[in-house]
Amino acid sequence: MTDADSLFTHGGPDALGAPAHDFSTNANACGPCPEALERVRAADLSRYPDPAYTALREQLAAMHGVQAWRIVLAAGASEFIRRITTWVALEDRGGHGEVVLPAMSYGDYAASARALGLQAVRAPAAARRPLLAWCCDPSTPLGHAQPGIGETVDALPEGVPCVLDRAYEPLRLEGRLALNQRQLDRAWQMWSPNKALGMTGVRAAYAIAPVDAQDAVQALVRLAASWPVGADGVAMLSAWTQPGVQQWLRDSLATLREWKNSQTALCREMGWQVWPSEANFHVARPGADDFAGMLERLRSSGIKLRDCASFGLPGHVRMGVLPPASQQALKQAWTGAA
């Protein structure tokens, strides 16, 4: 499967509806966060949000200890991916620009580049005319820092923007970020809290701009549609800054660690090869002779796994950590299908 083929390859509900036991997404299985959900339900849907999102940007800036001008709101991480790629494509007046990707990554990075006529390059050293670089820690699908992430950031020519996708940083169960503060100050940091809050149906995200990117921020704001984040998204992102919500998240990580230990042990018990991960998801290889048929049989039993072929790992699945009841359902379905 190519990057173009993976454009609509995602976890979650599909043509059969919502799976009873959905291992295919990386959302926090302890969610939704009660306080965040209450705030979203109480959002005033009868009015437009402030188009400048003044109060929300100040809240997010205070949470991260940065100036408010550095906060760029987005209608989800995928919208920001497309928007910043559009920006660099518009700057590429000579043509033949390249977007540097990790060896394995979320498919929207490459899909956005190609949709805008840019080349996607997965070997940073091979890029001749880089316009944009993507980094991820923890990365998908493997759940740890991409190899050589620090070297990739440091090797970029001056002025080439780098985006660090931090979607899974709040769901890190061990380890720590591989970049230092100097490297962080040079990068765009993209946050999508809906995963950590277990509320992926609310599409809202934000990016923290580099310390010297005032002009770039203005360019990205001009490229945005009016009100990219609706009232529900504003409520979720505002909730994200609250101490009670952050405490709920910390408490959920302890639960996820227990569930992850039992889930990886179960996979090994079933004879699956399990790859190490620092996040709330991991890759496994079931070892089925008919891999596609196995996925279909499990899906018909209410079990959905994320095929990793679009990441360049055919025969593997990415599994979000789910509660013990879902793990037992997987065991029963696997035993019946084996």
Q: Residue range 142-161: average pLDDT?
A: 92
Confidence (pLDDT) at 14: 86
Residue 49 in contact with residue 231, Cβ under 8 Å? yes
Separation of alpha carbons 110 and 101, rounded Å = 7
Which of 115-129, 131-145, 166-180 bottoms out in mean pLDDT, i.e. has the lowest?
A: 115-129
Confidence (pLDDT) at 1: 41
pLDDT tens for 265-282 read: 999 999 999 999 999 999
pLDDT tens for 24-78 read: 999 999 999 999 999 999 999 999 999 999 999 999 999 999 999 999 999 999 9
Q: Residue range 99-122: average pLDDT?
A: 93
> Coil, strand or helix: which one is 310?
helix
pLDDT tens for 165-200 read: 999 999 999 999 999 999 999 999 999 999 999 999
Confidence (pLDDT) at 300: 95
Is residue 4 predicted with pLDDT exceeding 50? Answer: no
Work out the percent of the chain whose per-residue pLDDT is above 70.
Answer: 96
Residue 37 in contact with residue 320, Cβ under 8 Å? no
Q: Residue range 149-170: average pLDDT?
A: 94
List Cα–Cα distances, 5 to 16, 17, 106, 165, in angstroms. 20, 22, 12, 22
Confidence (pLDDT) at 123: 76
* Amino acid identity for residue 6 in this structure: S
Confidence (pLDDT) at 93: 67
How much is the mean pLDDT over the chain? 93
Confidence (pLDDT) at 91: 85
**Which pair of structure tokens corresponds to residue 82?**
């497309």
Q: Indicate the pLDDT class of residue 337, thresholds 50, 70 and 90.
A: low
Confidence (pLDDT) at 92: 79
Sheet with 306-307: strands ordered across: 273-274, 281-285, 317-320, 306-307
Confidence (pLDDT) at 172: 98
**CB-based contacts of 252, cutoff 8 Å, min separation 6:** 28, 30, 31, 33
**CB-based contacts of 171, cutoff 8 Å, min separation 6:** 26, 28, 138, 195, 196, 253, 256, 279, 280
Q: Which of 31, 51, 69, 37 is nearest to 242 (CA)?
A: 37
Is residue 209 predicted with pLDDT exceeding 50? Answer: yes
Q: Residue range 210-236: average pLDDT?
A: 97
* Amino acid identity for residue 57 in this structure: R
Residue 187 in contact with residue 164, Cβ under 8 Å? yes
Q: Which domains does the chain have, with CATH numbers?
A: 5-26+245-337 (3.90.1150.10), 34-242 (3.40.640.10)
Is residue 250 predicted with pLDDT exceeding 80? Answer: yes
Q: Indicate the pLDDT class of residue 2, thresholds 50, 70 and 90.
A: very low
Is residue 283 predicted with pLDDT exceeding 90? Answer: yes
Is residue 287 predicted with pLDDT exceeding 90? Answer: no
> Coil, strand or helix: which one is 43?
coil
